[in-house]
Amino acid sequence: MKVNSIVKRISAAVITGCMLLTGLTSSTSAALTDGMITDSIISIKYKVSQEDINRAKQERDAARRRANEVNSRLNSLNGQQTELNNELANLNQMSAEQRAQYEIIAGQLQAALEAKQAALERFIAAQENLEEKQEQFANRVNAMFEFQNKSTLEVLLESDSIAGFFTNLEIIALIADADNQAIDELQIAMDDAQLQADAAMEEADEMQRIADAKQAELDELERRIGVTTAALEEVSTQITSAERERDNLNAEASRLDQRVRDLTRQYQVQQAQNYSGGGTKVVSGISFTWPVASRNITSPYGYRIHPISGVRKLHTGMDIGSSYGSTIVAAASGTVIQVNLPVPGRNTGGSGYGNYLIISHGNGVTTLYGHCRNIYVSSGQSVSRGQKIAEVGSTGSSTGPHLHFEVRVNGSTVNPRSYLP
């Protein structure tokens, strides 16, 4: 009667677990329809293994790593964007300052060009004046030539009187002096006009060189502004792309995290089913059952390369992979003869077996339960097969949550798998 009651309670728990899993499956199926997760949980009929959970965790962790890498790249791009914005602001300010300077230089150039034009006009006027004086000079030369070709006697004979003779000689001398003075003035005017024209042209040429140099600086600034603007647009495009990639990876990681939870729950339900119907095996007159619901043997009994020390040595027990907090039961009835709790209630910490206990079952047979999180029995306490005695952890020298299960006969370890159904 008591056995039937226990069976009914276990069956009810399994049905409840199935209903819970079915609800989780329907609520999460919509979130997993984007093609990233195609093997989501469909029903309790699909058998989930610890490898399925580990694989889902690896995919989730990989997505998180990629998201972190993209986020680091995004931080770098944001830094580049800030630098480019600062550079663009500086270039625009420089361009404004250079343009203001160019406006001043352009005004000076215009004044120089106007001065150059005025000097050229004066030079042209001087040339015209020279031509006029040259014509006058030519006429006087002709007249003088007529007088100069006459002898003094001819001048005297043509004069009305002695006074007229001297007057004519004086007039000839005055004309010669006047012509010489006109030639000097003409040369002075020409020299002055040439100097002014040369100075104006030199100043205009210098201002043109300055204006051309300033224009080249402006052109270079405009080129740099264009290059910086293009680089800024490229970085902005990369930032948008990286943000989208990061968000997609985070969303994928969240979906995979939900998948891990769903698989873990289904796995626990399956293990509960397996555990309730796991049966027993009698060895040396002792009835044994599995100490945890999981059947995932991650490291069997025998020689191996130790996962932490890297040394080849005998693995004295059997590692059964399970999740943190999973129930550990006594594999057989007996008496607790040792409890060691260096880090009580913790998932990790300590060394060696970490938190562990040993149960004596008679006939020299003992079992050891290592790497526990919590232990619920004390030394000297009698326990029954299937009674909860501890929880799975990863204390001691451990790389993840599991139960290290040992069977010893007269103090020597043997293969535990031979004692389990």
The tally of domains found in the chain comes to: 3
- Judge whether 71 and 249 are in contact, CB under 8 Å: no
Q: Quick one: pLDDT band at residue 84, thresholds 50, 70, 90?
A: confident
Q: If DSSP codes are grouped into helix, strand and coil, which group holds residue 34?
A: coil
Cα separation, 16 vs 24, in Å, equals: 12
Residues 152-172 have a mean pLDDT of 57
For the stretch 324-361, pLDDT in tens is 999 999 999 999 999 999 999 999 999 999 999 999 99
Q: Are residues 339 and 401 in the same domain?
A: yes
Residues 69-94 have a mean pLDDT of 88
- Judge whether 112 and 221 are in contact, CB under 8 Å: no
Q: What is the mean pLDDT of the chain?
A: 78
Backbone angles phi, psi at 325, to 5 degrees: 85, -5
pLDDT at 33 > cutoff 70: no
| Long-range CB contacts for residues 276-281, cutoff 8 Å, separation at least 24 | 276/7, 276/10, 276/11, 276/14, 278/421, 279/421, 280/385, 280/421, 281/419, 281/420, 281/421
Cα separation, 256 vs 251, in Å, equals: 9
Q: Residue 118 has what pLDDT?
A: 73
What residue numbers bound the domain in which 205 lies?
Answer: 109-239
pLDDT at 393 > cutoff 90: yes
Q: Residue 173 has what pLDDT?
A: 63
Q: Are residues 15 and 130 in the same domain?
A: no
pLDDT at 83 > cutoff 60: yes
Q: Are residues 312 and 357 in the same domain?
A: yes
Q: Quick one: pLDDT band at residue 117, thresholds 50, 70, 90?
A: confident
Q: Residue 2 has what pLDDT?
A: 38
Taking the CA atoms of 103, 109, 113 and 116 in sequence, report the sign of the dihedral they define. Answer: positive
Q: Quick one: pLDDT band at residue 44, thresholds 50, 70, 90?
A: very low
In a domain, residue 283? The reply is: yes
- Out of 214, 239, 264, a domain closes at 239
Structure tokens at 255: 């979906």
Q: Quick one: pLDDT band at residue 35, thresholds 50, 70, 90?
A: very low
Q: Kindly list the distances between the CA atom of residue 263 and the CA atoms of 14, 17, 268, 306, in Å, as whole numbers in the listed order.
A: 16, 13, 8, 29
Residues 153-164 have a mean pLDDT of 56
Q: Are residues 268 and 293 in the same domain?
A: no
Cα separation, 66 vs 73, in Å, equals: 10
Determine the Cα angle at 168 with ends 166 and 172, to 5°.
115
Q: Kindly list the distances between the CA atom of residue 408 and the CA atoms of 43, 315, 318, 334, in Å, as whole numbers in the listed order.
A: 40, 13, 12, 14
- Out of 186, 219, 239, a domain closes at 239
3-state helix, strand, coil in the chain (%, to 5): 60, 15, 20
Q: Quick one: pLDDT band at residue 182, thresholds 50, 70, 90?
A: low
Q: Residue 59 has what pLDDT?
A: 92
Q: Are residues 147 and 21 in the same domain?
A: no
Q: Residue 201 has what pLDDT?
A: 74
**CATH assignment of the domain containing 326:** 2.70.70.10
Residues 161-182 have a mean pLDDT of 62
In a domain, residue 28? The reply is: yes
Residues 276-303 have a mean pLDDT of 87
Residues 103-119 have a mean pLDDT of 72
Q: Residue 6 has what pLDDT?
A: 37
H helix count then E strand count, the chain = 4, 16
Q: Residue 151 has what pLDDT?
A: 52
